[in-house]
Amino acid sequence: MAKLNVIGDLYDPRSGDQAIRTQCLRLDAKPSDPARSNCFSIYFIESGTGTFWADASSFAFGPSSLLFFVPYQHIRFVPDSAVFGEVIQFHANFLCVETFHSEVGCSGILFNDPYGIPVVQLDERSKLDVSNLIERIRKEQSEQNLAFGEVMLACLKVLLIFAARLKSPEAGTCEVGAVDLRHPVLAQLRDLIEENYHSLHSPAEYAERLHLTPKTLGRIVREHLGTTPTDLIRNRLLIHAKWQLLHTLKPVKEISREIGFSDELYFSRMFKKATGFSPIFFREFETEIRGGSNLSMFSAHPPILRPAAASDT
């Protein structure tokens, strides 16, 4: 059986890369680590079961499901059986999840929610809808008829809307932690991290404010979110850092200080470990391939929260 067939190189339009691409997913029943990508990735699992890792968080997956991954994320699959499906990847040049988050991208419910589970389970009707949309995207990609890019974009938007409706408790609602916070402590922890991630980096500090032991807090987070408090905090720091690197010209040292790191080198090492690249490369490469368009965006805060709750100013 063939290995996972996913383009491993970073998307670069200067090399003629397509901004939306689909490929077949074929996994043997053994661990597999797709190469990092600077695209958003949607994995449509048609058959097969197992566990996947998104950075340090682990989740179960099964047939008839969609898995969502953000750019530069480390992904690892540990299948229990052979897995078949499809992978759809798209770069922010084609559909920026951040700028369209309230419309179709749903940043904070499908992507970029450090407190949620990046899985959407499909029923028979929605599975058929998703299959048809992916088939249309694949056909447009292959035939490249008139305005094929616009058709691919339209199908991708509809796919994201369908997935957001299934995951959100209320159709059309795109808010961080809208689902998956199935323990009352998790909602409190989310709010505390949003208010304090700039300055508080230790799980023990959050456990104290929640009147829990660090061990108890860690158990709750692992049982319900498949991750650790440390990684929740780190992921929130990275969301802030990526946004500022992409959409402002602030020096790396200033961004490091914004999120509570006095040592710029320590911040750079953390960033490279998480993304595979240094903050400077991340900024310069993405800005160059986007033609600087990312720098014209509103840059006060990364939009993963409702405006009234934003705290990244």
Sequence-distant (≥ 6) Cβ neighbours of residue 311 within 8 angstroms: 194, 195, 301, 305
Q: How far apart are CA 97 and CA 117, in angstroms?
A: 17
Fold (CATH) for 13-167: Jelly Rolls (2.60.120)
Query: Looking at the DSSP assignment, which residues form a beta bridge with residue 89?
Result: 21, 41
State the pLDDT at residue 244.
93
State the pLDDT at residue 107.
58
Residues of the chain with CATH 2.60.120.280: 13-167
Q: How far apart are CA 114 and CA 192, in angstroms?
A: 13
Cβ–Cβ under 8 Å, residues 108 and 179 = no
- Terminal-to-terminal C-alpha distance of the chain: 50
Q: Which residues does the chain have with pLDDT short of 70?
A: 1-8, 96-108, 169-182, 296-313
Residues of the chain with CATH 1.10.10.60: 184-309
Phi first, then psi: what are they for 261, rounded to 5°? -110, 115
Phi first, then psi: what are they for 165, rounded to 5°? -65, -40
Going from the C-alpha of 243 to that of each of 14, 89, 117, 278, the distances in angstroms are: 23, 20, 21, 14
Q: Which residues of 265-294 are buried (b: 16+ CB within 10 A; e: fewer)?
A: eebbebbeebbbbebeebbeebbebbeeeb
pTM: 0.86
What angle, 0 to 180 degrees and rounded to 10, lies between the N-to-C axes of helices 279-289 and 264-275? 60
Q: Is CATH 3.30.2130.10 the classification given to domain 184-309?
A: no
Cβ–Cβ under 8 Å, residues 27 and 82 = yes
